[in-house]
A and B are shown apart, each in its own frame.
Chain A
Amino acid sequence: MTDATALTPAVTKPRSLPKVNSRAVVMTLYLLFLMLPIYWLINMSLKTNTEILGSFSLWPQNLTFENYVTILTDEAWYMGYVNSMIYVVMNTVISLAVALPAAYAFSRYNFLGDKHLFFWLLTNRMAPPAVFALPFFQLYSSIGLFDTHIAVALAHCLFNVPLAVWILEGFMRGVPKEIDETAYIDGYGFGRFFVKIFMPLIASGIGVAAFFCFMFSWVELLLSRTLTSVDAKPIAATMTRTVGAAGVDWGVLAAAGVLTIVPGALVIYFVRNYIAKGFALGRV
Protein backbone atom coordinates (compact mmCIF):
# COMPACT_ATOMS: atom_id res chain seq x y z
CA MET A 1 0.00 0.00 0.00
CA THR A 2 2.73 2.42 0.97
CA ASP A 3 4.94 1.74 -1.99
CA ALA A 4 2.11 2.26 -4.43
CA THR A 5 1.19 5.67 -3.02
CA ALA A 6 4.79 6.74 -2.56
CA LEU A 7 5.44 6.59 -6.27
CA THR A 8 2.46 8.61 -7.39
CA PRO A 9 3.46 12.23 -6.67
CA ALA A 10 5.78 12.27 -9.65
CA VAL A 11 2.94 11.23 -11.95
CA THR A 12 0.37 13.79 -12.99
CA LYS A 13 -3.13 12.76 -12.07
CA PRO A 14 -5.46 12.00 -14.96
CA ARG A 15 -7.68 15.01 -15.48
CA SER A 16 -10.76 13.06 -16.46
CA LEU A 17 -11.32 11.71 -12.96
CA PRO A 18 -13.51 13.88 -10.74
CA LYS A 19 -11.06 15.65 -8.44
CA VAL A 20 -12.95 15.25 -5.19
CA ASN A 21 -13.15 11.52 -5.61
CA SER A 22 -9.48 10.80 -6.17
CA ARG A 23 -8.65 12.97 -3.17
CA ALA A 24 -11.13 11.14 -0.97
CA VAL A 25 -9.77 7.78 -2.10
CA VAL A 26 -6.18 8.75 -1.31
CA MET A 27 -7.11 10.08 2.11
CA THR A 28 -9.29 7.10 2.94
CA LEU A 29 -6.49 4.69 2.03
CA TYR A 30 -3.95 6.63 4.05
CA LEU A 31 -6.17 6.97 7.12
CA LEU A 32 -7.03 3.28 6.86
CA PHE A 33 -3.32 2.46 6.82
CA LEU A 34 -2.89 4.57 9.96
CA MET A 35 -5.87 3.14 11.79
CA LEU A 36 -5.52 -0.58 11.06
CA PRO A 37 -2.65 -1.34 13.46
CA ILE A 38 -4.35 0.74 16.17
CA TYR A 39 -7.64 -1.05 15.56
CA TRP A 40 -5.85 -4.36 15.90
CA LEU A 41 -4.42 -3.32 19.26
CA ILE A 42 -7.89 -2.30 20.51
CA ASN A 43 -9.33 -5.51 19.15
CA MET A 44 -6.77 -7.56 21.07
CA SER A 45 -7.25 -5.62 24.27
CA LEU A 46 -10.91 -6.69 24.32
CA LYS A 47 -10.16 -10.39 23.99
CA THR A 48 -9.09 -12.99 26.51
CA ASN A 49 -5.67 -14.57 26.11
CA THR A 50 -7.17 -17.90 25.15
CA GLU A 51 -9.09 -16.23 22.36
CA ILE A 52 -6.06 -14.28 21.14
CA LEU A 53 -3.90 -17.37 20.89
CA GLY A 54 -6.63 -19.88 20.11
CA SER A 55 -8.52 -18.46 17.19
CA PHE A 56 -8.08 -15.70 14.63
CA SER A 57 -10.95 -13.25 14.37
CA LEU A 58 -11.33 -9.72 13.09
CA TRP A 59 -13.36 -8.64 16.13
CA PRO A 60 -13.72 -9.99 19.67
CA GLN A 61 -16.06 -12.98 19.86
CA ASN A 62 -16.61 -12.77 23.62
CA LEU A 63 -16.12 -9.16 24.52
CA THR A 64 -14.23 -8.74 27.80
CA PHE A 65 -13.03 -5.71 29.75
CA GLU A 66 -11.02 -7.92 32.08
CA ASN A 67 -7.68 -6.57 30.77
CA TYR A 68 -8.62 -2.97 31.49
CA VAL A 69 -9.90 -3.88 34.95
CA THR A 70 -6.54 -5.51 35.69
CA ILE A 71 -4.68 -2.32 34.86
CA LEU A 72 -7.00 0.18 36.50
CA THR A 73 -7.19 -1.69 39.80
CA ASP A 74 -3.53 -2.61 40.22
CA GLU A 75 -1.46 0.16 41.73
CA ALA A 76 1.75 -1.05 40.10
CA TRP A 77 0.02 -0.52 36.77
CA TYR A 78 -1.84 2.72 37.10
CA MET A 79 0.96 4.46 39.01
CA GLY A 80 2.93 4.13 35.78
CA TYR A 81 0.48 6.49 34.12
CA VAL A 82 0.58 8.91 37.05
CA ASN A 83 4.39 8.94 37.04
CA SER A 84 4.53 9.59 33.33
CA MET A 85 2.04 12.43 33.59
CA ILE A 86 3.95 14.04 36.47
CA TYR A 87 7.30 14.22 34.73
CA VAL A 88 5.76 15.23 31.40
CA VAL A 89 3.96 18.19 32.98
CA MET A 90 7.07 19.17 34.97
CA ASN A 91 9.17 19.04 31.84
CA THR A 92 6.72 21.14 29.83
CA VAL A 93 6.60 23.83 32.52
CA ILE A 94 10.39 23.97 32.97
CA SER A 95 11.05 23.98 29.23
CA LEU A 96 8.63 26.83 28.55
CA ALA A 97 9.78 28.88 31.54
CA VAL A 98 13.39 28.96 30.40
CA ALA A 99 12.70 29.00 26.67
CA LEU A 100 10.42 32.06 26.66
CA PRO A 101 12.99 34.71 27.65
CA ALA A 102 15.70 33.07 25.56
CA ALA A 103 13.51 32.97 22.47
CA TYR A 104 12.70 36.64 23.03
CA ALA A 105 16.38 37.49 23.13
CA PHE A 106 17.07 35.53 19.94
CA SER A 107 14.15 37.08 18.10
CA ARG A 108 14.85 40.70 19.09
CA TYR A 109 18.53 41.28 19.67
CA ASN A 110 21.93 40.74 18.20
CA PHE A 111 24.42 39.84 20.84
CA LEU A 112 27.87 38.39 21.12
CA GLY A 113 27.84 34.84 19.75
CA ASP A 114 24.07 34.64 19.26
CA LYS A 115 24.15 32.60 16.07
CA HIS A 116 26.63 30.09 17.43
CA LEU A 117 24.64 29.80 20.61
CA PHE A 118 21.45 29.13 18.69
CA PHE A 119 23.05 26.38 16.65
CA TRP A 120 24.67 24.92 19.74
CA LEU A 121 21.25 24.75 21.36
CA LEU A 122 19.87 22.99 18.31
CA THR A 123 22.71 20.45 18.41
CA ASN A 124 21.31 19.25 21.72
CA ARG A 125 18.11 18.36 19.94
CA MET A 126 20.30 16.21 17.70
CA ALA A 127 22.08 14.41 20.51
CA PRO A 128 21.12 10.74 20.46
CA PRO A 129 19.57 9.78 23.83
CA ALA A 130 21.58 6.56 23.63
CA VAL A 131 24.77 8.64 23.99
CA PHE A 132 23.45 10.31 27.13
CA ALA A 133 21.81 7.36 28.87
CA LEU A 134 24.83 6.21 30.87
CA PRO A 135 26.23 9.65 31.84
CA PHE A 136 22.76 10.75 32.92
CA PHE A 137 22.44 7.69 35.09
CA GLN A 138 25.75 8.46 36.81
CA LEU A 139 25.11 12.19 37.11
CA TYR A 140 21.68 11.83 38.69
CA SER A 141 22.77 8.98 40.93
CA SER A 142 25.64 11.01 42.27
CA ILE A 143 23.44 13.98 43.20
CA GLY A 144 20.74 11.78 44.67
CA LEU A 145 18.06 12.45 42.10
CA PHE A 146 17.92 8.94 40.70
CA ASP A 147 14.37 7.54 40.49
CA THR A 148 12.67 10.91 40.95
CA HIS A 149 10.29 12.64 38.59
CA ILE A 150 12.40 15.76 38.42
CA ALA A 151 15.38 13.77 37.13
CA VAL A 152 13.43 12.58 34.10
CA ALA A 153 11.93 16.04 33.60
CA LEU A 154 15.41 17.62 33.59
CA ALA A 155 16.82 14.94 31.33
CA HIS A 156 14.07 15.51 28.79
CA CYS A 157 14.97 19.21 28.79
CA LEU A 158 17.98 18.11 26.75
CA PHE A 159 15.85 17.89 23.62
CA ASN A 160 12.73 19.86 24.60
CA VAL A 161 14.34 23.18 25.56
CA PRO A 162 16.10 23.63 22.20
CA LEU A 163 12.89 22.69 20.40
CA ALA A 164 10.82 25.12 22.48
CA VAL A 165 13.30 27.94 21.85
CA TRP A 166 13.24 27.18 18.14
CA ILE A 167 9.44 27.16 17.88
CA LEU A 168 8.90 30.22 20.08
CA GLU A 169 11.54 32.19 18.25
CA GLY A 170 9.65 31.58 15.01
CA PHE A 171 6.40 32.87 16.48
CA MET A 172 8.01 35.87 18.18
CA ARG A 173 9.63 36.99 14.96
CA GLY A 174 6.13 37.43 13.57
CA VAL A 175 5.25 40.06 16.20
CA PRO A 176 6.15 43.58 15.01
CA LYS A 177 8.87 45.28 17.01
CA GLU A 178 6.86 48.46 17.23
CA ILE A 179 4.68 46.80 19.86
CA ASP A 180 7.67 46.43 22.19
CA GLU A 181 8.75 50.00 21.62
CA THR A 182 5.28 51.44 22.17
CA ALA A 183 4.96 49.51 25.41
CA TYR A 184 8.32 50.76 26.70
CA ILE A 185 7.34 54.36 25.83
CA ASP A 186 4.11 53.83 27.73
CA GLY A 187 6.22 53.05 30.77
CA TYR A 188 5.95 49.31 30.98
CA GLY A 189 8.91 47.54 32.54
CA PHE A 190 10.29 44.48 30.78
CA GLY A 191 8.68 41.92 33.08
CA ARG A 192 5.22 43.48 33.04
CA PHE A 193 5.36 44.06 29.28
CA PHE A 194 6.42 40.46 28.67
CA VAL A 195 3.70 38.86 30.76
CA LYS A 196 0.85 41.29 30.16
CA ILE A 197 1.28 42.22 26.51
CA PHE A 198 3.76 39.97 24.75
CA MET A 199 2.71 36.55 26.00
CA PRO A 200 -0.96 36.93 25.02
CA LEU A 201 0.21 37.91 21.54
CA ILE A 202 2.08 34.67 21.04
CA ALA A 203 -0.41 32.53 22.98
CA SER A 204 -0.84 30.12 20.08
CA GLY A 205 2.93 29.79 19.81
CA ILE A 206 3.16 28.94 23.50
CA GLY A 207 0.41 26.37 23.00
CA VAL A 208 2.24 24.81 20.10
CA ALA A 209 5.53 24.68 22.00
CA ALA A 210 3.76 23.11 24.98
CA PHE A 211 2.18 20.54 22.66
CA PHE A 212 5.57 19.56 21.24
CA CYS A 213 7.21 19.38 24.68
CA PHE A 214 4.36 17.21 25.91
CA MET A 215 4.60 15.02 22.85
CA PHE A 216 8.34 14.36 22.92
CA SER A 217 8.47 13.86 26.67
CA TRP A 218 5.47 11.52 26.64
CA VAL A 219 6.79 9.26 23.90
CA GLU A 220 10.41 9.00 25.05
CA LEU A 221 11.40 5.80 26.77
CA LEU A 222 15.15 5.21 26.78
CA LEU A 223 16.06 8.03 29.18
CA SER A 224 13.00 7.74 31.40
CA ARG A 225 13.60 4.02 31.80
CA THR A 226 17.29 4.43 32.53
CA LEU A 227 16.68 7.09 35.18
CA THR A 228 13.97 5.35 37.18
CA SER A 229 13.52 2.08 39.01
CA VAL A 230 10.44 2.04 41.25
CA ASP A 231 9.06 5.35 42.47
CA ALA A 232 9.01 7.22 39.19
CA LYS A 233 8.76 4.34 36.77
CA PRO A 234 6.94 5.43 33.59
CA ILE A 235 4.10 3.45 32.11
CA ALA A 236 6.12 2.57 29.04
CA ALA A 237 8.60 0.70 31.23
CA THR A 238 5.87 -0.88 33.31
CA MET A 239 4.62 -2.60 30.19
CA THR A 240 7.52 -5.04 30.25
CA ARG A 241 5.79 -6.61 33.27
CA THR A 242 3.46 -8.46 30.93
CA VAL A 243 6.28 -10.77 29.92
CA GLY A 244 6.17 -13.41 32.64
CA ALA A 245 7.16 -17.00 33.18
CA ALA A 246 3.96 -18.14 31.50
CA GLY A 247 4.71 -16.22 28.33
CA VAL A 248 3.41 -12.84 27.27
CA ASP A 249 0.09 -11.63 28.62
CA TRP A 250 -1.04 -10.24 25.26
CA GLY A 251 -4.42 -8.98 26.38
CA VAL A 252 -3.07 -6.82 29.20
CA LEU A 253 -0.17 -5.64 27.05
CA ALA A 254 -2.61 -4.49 24.37
CA ALA A 255 -4.89 -2.82 26.92
CA ALA A 256 -1.92 -0.95 28.44
CA GLY A 257 -0.94 0.14 24.96
CA VAL A 258 -4.42 1.44 24.22
CA LEU A 259 -4.43 3.40 27.48
CA THR A 260 -1.12 5.11 26.55
CA ILE A 261 -2.77 6.39 23.37
CA VAL A 262 -5.62 8.04 25.29
CA PRO A 263 -3.76 11.08 26.78
CA GLY A 264 -2.27 11.88 23.38
CA ALA A 265 -5.65 11.60 21.71
CA LEU A 266 -7.16 13.97 24.29
CA VAL A 267 -4.42 16.55 23.81
CA ILE A 268 -4.83 16.38 20.03
CA TYR A 269 -8.58 16.84 20.35
CA PHE A 270 -8.11 20.06 22.33
CA VAL A 271 -5.53 21.58 20.01
CA ARG A 272 -7.03 20.30 16.74
CA ASN A 273 -7.62 23.79 15.38
CA TYR A 274 -4.01 24.82 15.97
CA ILE A 275 -2.31 21.68 14.73
CA ALA A 276 -1.82 22.78 11.13
CA LYS A 277 -0.61 26.21 12.20
CA GLY A 278 1.54 24.69 14.88
CA PHE A 279 3.31 22.33 12.55
CA ALA A 280 4.43 25.31 10.51
CA LEU A 281 6.35 26.25 13.69
CA GLY A 282 5.39 29.88 13.09
CA ARG A 283 7.70 30.00 10.13
CA VAL A 284 5.21 30.35 7.32
Chain B
Amino acid sequence: MQQKTTNHKAWFLVLPVLVLVAFSAVIPLMTVVNYSVQDTFGNNQFFWAGLEWFQEMLSDERMWNALQRQLMFSGIILAIEIPLGIFVALNMPKSGFWSSFCLVVMSLPLLIPWNVVGTIWQIFGRVDIGLLGHTLEALGIDYNYTQDTISAWITIIVMDVWHWTSLVALLAFAGLKSIPDAYYQAARIDQANRWKVFRFIELPKMMGVLMIAILLRFMDSFMIYTEPFVVTGGGPGNATTLLSIDLVKMALGQFDLGPAAAFSLMYFLVILLISWVFYTVMVNLDKKGM
Protein backbone atom coordinates (compact mmCIF):
# COMPACT_ATOMS: atom_id res chain seq x y z
CA MET B 1 0.00 0.00 0.00
CA GLN B 2 1.10 3.50 -0.76
CA GLN B 3 1.58 6.16 1.82
CA LYS B 4 -1.35 8.57 1.82
CA THR B 5 -1.17 12.24 2.67
CA THR B 6 -3.64 13.87 4.96
CA ASN B 7 -5.75 16.38 3.12
CA HIS B 8 -9.13 17.38 4.45
CA LYS B 9 -9.95 19.20 1.23
CA ALA B 10 -10.42 15.76 -0.29
CA TRP B 11 -13.93 16.04 1.11
CA PHE B 12 -14.82 18.20 -1.85
CA LEU B 13 -14.04 15.33 -4.20
CA VAL B 14 -16.33 13.05 -2.25
CA LEU B 15 -19.11 15.61 -2.05
CA PRO B 16 -20.96 14.66 -5.30
CA VAL B 17 -21.17 11.03 -4.20
CA LEU B 18 -22.34 12.13 -0.80
CA VAL B 19 -25.13 14.30 -2.17
CA LEU B 20 -26.29 11.63 -4.60
CA VAL B 21 -26.24 8.80 -2.10
CA ALA B 22 -27.87 10.99 0.52
CA PHE B 23 -30.68 11.61 -1.93
CA SER B 24 -31.10 8.01 -3.00
CA ALA B 25 -30.36 6.30 0.30
CA VAL B 26 -30.66 8.52 3.35
CA ILE B 27 -34.01 10.12 2.52
CA PRO B 28 -35.71 6.80 1.73
CA LEU B 29 -34.15 5.20 4.78
CA MET B 30 -35.47 8.03 6.96
CA THR B 31 -38.92 7.40 5.51
CA VAL B 32 -38.62 3.80 6.59
CA VAL B 33 -37.52 4.82 10.08
CA ASN B 34 -40.43 7.23 10.20
CA TYR B 35 -42.94 4.50 9.35
CA SER B 36 -41.41 2.06 11.76
CA VAL B 37 -42.26 4.15 14.81
CA GLN B 38 -45.74 5.28 13.78
CA ASP B 39 -49.17 3.86 13.25
CA THR B 40 -51.79 4.99 10.79
CA PHE B 41 -55.52 4.59 10.32
CA GLY B 42 -55.50 5.92 6.81
CA ASN B 43 -56.04 9.51 5.66
CA ASN B 44 -52.37 10.18 6.15
CA GLN B 45 -52.83 10.55 9.87
CA PHE B 46 -49.98 9.09 11.81
CA PHE B 47 -49.63 8.32 15.48
CA TRP B 48 -46.54 7.69 17.51
CA ALA B 49 -46.19 3.98 18.11
CA GLY B 50 -42.72 3.84 19.61
CA LEU B 51 -41.03 0.50 19.45
CA GLU B 52 -44.32 -1.38 19.26
CA TRP B 53 -43.74 -2.64 15.71
CA PHE B 54 -40.27 -3.84 16.52
CA GLN B 55 -41.57 -5.78 19.49
CA GLU B 56 -44.39 -7.18 17.42
CA MET B 57 -42.08 -8.30 14.63
CA LEU B 58 -39.55 -9.79 17.01
CA SER B 59 -42.19 -11.96 18.61
CA ASP B 60 -43.71 -12.82 15.24
CA GLU B 61 -42.92 -16.28 14.01
CA ARG B 62 -43.37 -15.20 10.43
CA MET B 63 -40.18 -13.17 10.40
CA TRP B 64 -38.13 -15.79 12.22
CA ASN B 65 -39.26 -18.45 9.79
CA ALA B 66 -38.36 -16.29 6.82
CA LEU B 67 -34.99 -15.52 8.39
CA GLN B 68 -34.37 -19.21 8.97
CA ARG B 69 -35.19 -20.06 5.36
CA GLN B 70 -33.01 -17.18 4.22
CA LEU B 71 -30.00 -18.32 6.26
CA MET B 72 -30.46 -21.84 4.99
CA PHE B 73 -30.64 -20.62 1.39
CA SER B 74 -27.56 -18.39 1.67
CA GLY B 75 -25.65 -21.10 3.49
CA ILE B 76 -26.40 -23.77 0.92
CA ILE B 77 -25.59 -21.66 -2.10
CA LEU B 78 -22.31 -20.42 -0.57
CA ALA B 79 -21.35 -24.00 0.29
CA ILE B 80 -21.91 -25.05 -3.30
CA GLU B 81 -20.85 -22.01 -5.29
CA ILE B 82 -17.54 -21.17 -3.63
CA PRO B 83 -15.91 -24.65 -3.96
CA LEU B 84 -17.47 -25.23 -7.37
CA GLY B 85 -16.32 -21.81 -8.56
CA ILE B 86 -12.75 -22.46 -7.40
CA PHE B 87 -12.82 -25.89 -9.02
CA VAL B 88 -14.00 -24.48 -12.34
CA ALA B 89 -11.39 -21.71 -12.18
CA LEU B 90 -8.62 -24.28 -11.65
CA ASN B 91 -9.75 -26.13 -14.74
CA MET B 92 -10.10 -23.12 -17.03
CA PRO B 93 -7.69 -22.79 -19.96
CA LYS B 94 -5.14 -20.13 -19.00
CA SER B 95 -4.83 -18.38 -22.35
CA GLY B 96 -5.69 -18.48 -26.02
CA PHE B 97 -8.96 -18.82 -27.84
CA TRP B 98 -10.55 -21.33 -25.45
CA SER B 99 -9.83 -19.10 -22.51
CA SER B 100 -11.78 -16.17 -24.00
CA PHE B 101 -14.46 -18.58 -25.17
CA CYS B 102 -14.97 -19.89 -21.64
CA LEU B 103 -14.95 -16.34 -20.24
CA VAL B 104 -17.62 -15.18 -22.66
CA VAL B 105 -19.93 -18.17 -22.15
CA MET B 106 -19.48 -18.05 -18.39
CA SER B 107 -20.32 -14.35 -18.18
CA LEU B 108 -23.54 -14.86 -20.08
CA PRO B 109 -25.79 -15.83 -17.14
CA LEU B 110 -24.53 -12.80 -15.18
CA LEU B 111 -26.00 -10.36 -17.71
CA ILE B 112 -29.44 -11.87 -18.04
CA PRO B 113 -32.14 -9.78 -16.30
CA TRP B 114 -33.13 -11.50 -13.09
CA ASN B 115 -36.74 -12.06 -13.96
CA VAL B 116 -35.64 -13.66 -17.23
CA VAL B 117 -33.40 -15.97 -15.21
CA GLY B 118 -36.52 -16.88 -13.27
CA THR B 119 -38.50 -17.35 -16.48
CA ILE B 120 -35.79 -19.55 -18.00
CA TRP B 121 -35.87 -21.90 -15.02
CA GLN B 122 -39.61 -21.73 -14.69
CA ILE B 123 -39.86 -23.03 -18.26
CA PHE B 124 -36.90 -25.40 -17.95
CA GLY B 125 -38.31 -27.10 -14.86
CA ARG B 126 -41.90 -27.51 -16.04
CA VAL B 127 -42.93 -31.09 -16.42
CA ASP B 128 -45.00 -30.48 -19.56
CA ILE B 129 -42.77 -28.19 -21.63
CA GLY B 130 -39.39 -28.00 -19.89
CA LEU B 131 -36.36 -30.11 -20.68
CA LEU B 132 -35.38 -30.66 -17.04
CA GLY B 133 -38.86 -31.42 -15.74
CA HIS B 134 -39.66 -33.63 -18.70
CA THR B 135 -36.42 -35.60 -18.41
CA LEU B 136 -36.81 -36.12 -14.68
CA GLU B 137 -40.37 -37.30 -15.16
CA ALA B 138 -39.29 -39.68 -17.92
CA LEU B 139 -36.72 -41.09 -15.50
CA GLY B 140 -39.52 -41.74 -13.06
CA ILE B 141 -38.47 -39.12 -10.53
CA ASP B 142 -41.30 -37.36 -8.79
CA TYR B 143 -40.55 -33.70 -9.48
CA ASN B 144 -42.94 -30.79 -9.39
CA TYR B 145 -41.65 -27.46 -8.16
CA THR B 146 -45.05 -25.86 -7.76
CA GLN B 147 -46.38 -28.56 -5.44
CA ASP B 148 -43.45 -30.17 -3.72
CA THR B 149 -41.29 -28.30 -1.19
CA ILE B 150 -38.10 -30.26 -1.87
CA SER B 151 -38.41 -29.86 -5.64
CA ALA B 152 -39.01 -26.14 -5.22
CA TRP B 153 -35.90 -25.77 -3.05
CA ILE B 154 -33.74 -27.81 -5.40
CA THR B 155 -34.98 -25.72 -8.32
CA ILE B 156 -34.14 -22.35 -6.76
CA ILE B 157 -30.77 -23.58 -5.50
CA VAL B 158 -29.74 -25.08 -8.86
CA MET B 159 -30.96 -21.87 -10.48
CA ASP B 160 -28.79 -19.74 -8.22
CA VAL B 161 -25.80 -22.02 -8.78
CA TRP B 162 -26.39 -21.71 -12.52
CA HIS B 163 -26.72 -17.96 -12.26
CA TRP B 164 -23.84 -17.02 -9.98
CA THR B 165 -21.16 -19.72 -9.86
CA SER B 166 -19.50 -18.05 -12.84
CA LEU B 167 -18.96 -14.88 -10.80
CA VAL B 168 -17.00 -16.84 -8.19
CA ALA B 169 -15.15 -18.73 -10.92
CA LEU B 170 -14.17 -15.53 -12.75
CA LEU B 171 -12.98 -13.87 -9.55
CA ALA B 172 -10.96 -16.95 -8.60
CA PHE B 173 -9.58 -17.17 -12.14
CA ALA B 174 -8.42 -13.56 -11.95
CA GLY B 175 -6.69 -14.39 -8.67
CA LEU B 176 -5.02 -17.45 -10.18
CA LYS B 177 -3.74 -15.55 -13.19
CA SER B 178 -1.87 -13.12 -10.95
CA ILE B 179 0.36 -15.87 -9.49
CA PRO B 180 3.85 -15.61 -10.99
CA ASP B 181 5.28 -18.70 -12.66
CA ALA B 182 8.20 -18.70 -10.24
CA TYR B 183 5.90 -19.96 -7.48
CA TYR B 184 4.94 -23.02 -9.50
CA GLN B 185 8.57 -23.66 -10.42
CA ALA B 186 9.56 -23.53 -6.79
CA ALA B 187 6.78 -25.99 -6.00
CA ARG B 188 8.03 -28.33 -8.71
CA ILE B 189 11.53 -28.24 -7.27
CA ASP B 190 10.10 -29.05 -3.85
CA GLN B 191 8.11 -31.85 -5.49
CA ALA B 192 4.86 -30.59 -4.03
CA ASN B 193 1.83 -32.57 -5.18
CA ARG B 194 -1.28 -31.02 -6.73
CA TRP B 195 -3.08 -30.70 -3.43
CA LYS B 196 -0.14 -28.97 -1.75
CA VAL B 197 0.22 -26.55 -4.66
CA PHE B 198 -3.43 -25.69 -4.24
CA ARG B 199 -3.31 -25.48 -0.46
CA PHE B 200 -0.10 -23.49 -0.03
CA ILE B 201 0.21 -21.45 -3.22
CA GLU B 202 -3.07 -21.03 -5.05
CA LEU B 203 -5.48 -20.75 -2.13
CA PRO B 204 -3.53 -18.09 -0.16
CA LYS B 205 -3.00 -16.08 -3.32
CA MET B 206 -6.71 -16.24 -4.12
CA MET B 207 -7.80 -15.28 -0.61
CA GLY B 208 -8.29 -11.59 -1.43
CA VAL B 209 -10.58 -12.13 -4.40
CA LEU B 210 -12.33 -15.02 -2.67
CA MET B 211 -13.29 -12.73 0.20
CA ILE B 212 -14.79 -10.35 -2.36
CA ALA B 213 -16.63 -13.30 -3.90
CA ILE B 214 -17.99 -14.47 -0.56
CA LEU B 215 -18.99 -10.93 0.41
CA LEU B 216 -20.78 -10.28 -2.89
CA ARG B 217 -22.47 -13.68 -2.98
CA PHE B 218 -23.58 -13.41 0.63
CA MET B 219 -25.04 -9.92 0.20
CA ASP B 220 -26.78 -10.71 -3.06
CA SER B 221 -28.18 -14.05 -1.95
CA PHE B 222 -29.45 -12.44 1.23
CA MET B 223 -31.35 -9.84 -0.80
CA ILE B 224 -32.55 -12.19 -3.51
CA TYR B 225 -36.09 -11.47 -4.63
CA THR B 226 -36.86 -11.63 -8.31
CA GLU B 227 -35.62 -15.06 -9.36
CA PRO B 228 -37.31 -17.25 -6.73
CA PHE B 229 -40.38 -15.03 -6.88
CA VAL B 230 -40.78 -15.65 -10.60
CA VAL B 231 -40.19 -19.39 -10.26
CA THR B 232 -42.14 -20.31 -7.14
CA GLY B 233 -43.84 -17.11 -5.99
CA GLY B 234 -42.70 -18.04 -2.47
CA GLY B 235 -44.60 -21.31 -2.52
CA PRO B 236 -45.60 -24.04 -2.21
CA GLY B 237 -47.25 -22.56 0.86
CA ASN B 238 -44.51 -20.45 2.37
CA ALA B 239 -41.74 -22.94 1.69
CA THR B 240 -39.58 -20.63 -0.41
CA THR B 241 -40.70 -17.28 1.01
CA LEU B 242 -37.32 -15.69 1.62
CA LEU B 243 -36.89 -12.42 3.52
CA SER B 244 -37.28 -10.06 0.56
CA ILE B 245 -40.31 -11.90 -0.78
CA ASP B 246 -41.96 -11.76 2.63
CA LEU B 247 -41.12 -8.09 2.97
CA VAL B 248 -42.56 -7.10 -0.40
CA LYS B 249 -45.70 -9.12 0.37
CA MET B 250 -46.08 -7.23 3.63
CA ALA B 251 -45.24 -3.73 2.37
CA LEU B 252 -46.71 -3.59 -1.13
CA GLY B 253 -49.22 -6.43 -0.91
CA GLN B 254 -50.88 -5.92 2.46
CA PHE B 255 -49.67 -2.34 2.91
CA ASP B 256 -48.76 -2.98 6.55
CA LEU B 257 -46.36 -0.06 6.58
CA GLY B 258 -45.40 -0.03 10.24
CA PRO B 259 -44.48 -3.70 10.65
CA ALA B 260 -42.93 -3.80 7.18
CA ALA B 261 -40.72 -0.82 8.03
CA ALA B 262 -39.62 -2.36 11.32
CA PHE B 263 -38.93 -5.59 9.45
CA SER B 264 -36.89 -3.66 6.83
CA LEU B 265 -34.69 -2.01 9.40
CA MET B 266 -33.92 -5.24 11.20
CA TYR B 267 -33.29 -6.97 7.88
CA PHE B 268 -30.86 -4.24 6.88
CA LEU B 269 -29.13 -4.43 10.25
CA VAL B 270 -28.55 -8.17 9.95
CA ILE B 271 -26.94 -7.75 6.52
CA LEU B 272 -24.88 -4.83 7.79
CA LEU B 273 -23.60 -6.76 10.76
CA ILE B 274 -22.52 -9.82 8.79
CA SER B 275 -21.04 -7.73 5.99
CA TRP B 276 -19.09 -5.67 8.50
CA VAL B 277 -17.43 -8.84 9.75
CA PHE B 278 -16.50 -9.86 6.19
CA TYR B 279 -15.28 -6.37 5.40
CA THR B 280 -13.05 -6.23 8.47
CA VAL B 281 -11.51 -9.58 7.57
CA MET B 282 -11.02 -8.36 4.01
CA VAL B 283 -9.30 -5.12 5.01
CA ASN B 284 -6.98 -7.06 7.32
CA LEU B 285 -6.08 -9.41 4.47
CA ASP B 286 -5.41 -6.38 2.27
CA LYS B 287 -3.09 -4.95 4.90
CA LYS B 288 -1.10 -8.16 4.99
CA GLY B 289 -0.56 -7.59 1.29
CA MET B 290 -2.52 -10.50 -0.07
Contact = CB atoms under 8 A, between A and B. Distances in A.
Interface of A: 2-3, 5-6, 8-10, 12-13, 15, 22-23, 26-27, 30-31, 33-38, 40-41, 44, 52-53, 56, 58, 94, 97-99, 101-102, 104-106, 108-112, 114, 117, 119, 121-136, 138-139, 154-155, 157-158, 161-162, 165, 173, 176-177, 215, 218-222, 226, 235-236, 239, 250, 253-254, 257, 260-261, 263-265, 267-269, 272-273, 275-281, 283-284
Contacts of B21: 121, 124, 157-158, 161-162
Contacts of B18: 117
29 contacts: A2-B80, A8-B87, A9-B83, A10-B83, A38-B109, A53-B129, A94-B20, A105-B10, A108-B7, A109-B5, A110-B4, A112-B11, A124-B25, A128-B222, A128-B247, A130-B251, A131-B32, A131-B247, A135-B29, A139-B27, A236-B113, A257-B119, A260-B112, A264-B110, A268-B107, A276-B170, A279-B173, A280-B171, A280-B175
B44 to A, nearest CB: 11
Contacts of A109: 4-7, 10
B88 A26 contact: yes
B38 interface: no
Contacts of B106: 31, 34
Nearest to A94: B20
Interface string B157-175: 0100110001100110111
A9 B226 CA distance: 31
A275 B103 contact: yes
A276 B87 contact: no
Contacts of B208: 283-284
A220 B220 CA distance: 12
B84 A41 contact: no
B136 interface: no
B214 interface: no
B102 A27 contact: yes
Interface in B15-59: 16-18, 20-21, 23-25, 27-29, 31-32
Contacts of B251: 130, 133-134
B14 A101 contact: yes
B258 to A, nearest CB: 12
A97 B3 CA distance: 26
A41 B120 contact: yes
Contacts of B112: 219, 260-261, 264
B140 to A, nearest CB: 16
Given A110-B7, A126-B272, A253-B119, A52 B129 contact: yes
Interface residues of B, number: 104
A105 B17 CA distance: 11
Interface in B238-283: 243-244, 247-248, 251-252, 257, 260, 264-265, 267-268, 271-272, 275-276, 279
B124 A222 contact: no
B129 A250 contact: yes
Contacts of A154: 20, 23-24
B143 interface: no
A138 B91 contact: no
Contacts of B25: 124, 127, 132, 158
Nearest to B1: A173
B87 A9 contact: yes
Given A27-B92, A127-B268, A157-B20, 8 more contacts: A111-B11, A124-B21, A157-B21, A218-B113, A239-B116, A260-B112, A264-B112, A276-B103
Interface string B104-140: 1111111111111001110110001111101000000
Contacts of B90: 9
Contacts of A260: 112-113, 116
Contacts of B2: 173, 176-177
A94 B20 CA distance: 10
B4 A108 contact: yes
Nearest to A278: B174
B111 A268 contact: yes
A221 B118 CA distance: 12
With a 10 A CB-CB cut-off, give which of A97, A106, A280 has the most chain B CB atoms. Answer: A280
A257 B183 CA distance: 45
A134 B250 CA distance: 11
Given A111-B7, A265-B111, A284 B120 contact: no
